[in-house]
Amino acid sequence: MIVVYSTNRVWRTAVAAALRVHDVDVRMASRQAELAKCLAHSPAAVVIAGAEAGRYREAMQTLAALPSHSTGTHVVHATTPDDTMEDIVRRALS
């Protein structure tokens, strides 16, 4: 499962749609509580954080620092405004 975490609904939906084309199980979260709920219900292989999530950098760094066996999450990708949709999908699927 891949979690797309962003407060920007349009961006979050576009990334999720691009990933679903590749038959990936995608969950979306716009708040930290939703992200926690997604990760609590099933382990995510990847969390993709939108560029505006920089204000949540501390929470993302904490999540990335946890051992993967405790959260099931292996990779946290923080995007930048310069990332194309193709770049985001390629990194998430690699």
Q: Which letter does DSSP use for residue 81 in this model?
A: T
Model pTM score: 0.75
pLDDT at 16 exceeding the cut of 90: yes
The answer to whether 52 and 7 are in contact (CB under 8 A) is: yes
Least confident of 10-14, 15-19, 22-26, 73-77: 73-77
* CATH code: domain of residue 40: 3.40.50.2300
d(CA 4, CA 57): 15
Q: How many domains does the chain have?
A: 1
Q: Which domain holds residue 86?
A: 2-93
Q: Name the nearest CA neighbour of 32 among 65, 3, 10.
A: 3
Phi, psi for residue 38 in degrees, rounded to 5? -60, -45
* 12-37 mean pLDDT: 89
What pLDDT, on a 0 to 100 scale, did the predictor assign at position 81? 80
φ, ψ for residue 7 (rounded to 5)?
A: -85, -10
How confident is the model at residue 18, as a pLDDT? 93
What would the pLDDT profile of 30-89 be if each residue is shown by its tens digit?
A: 887 888 788 777 777 777 877 766 666 666 666 666 665 555 555 667 787 888 888 888
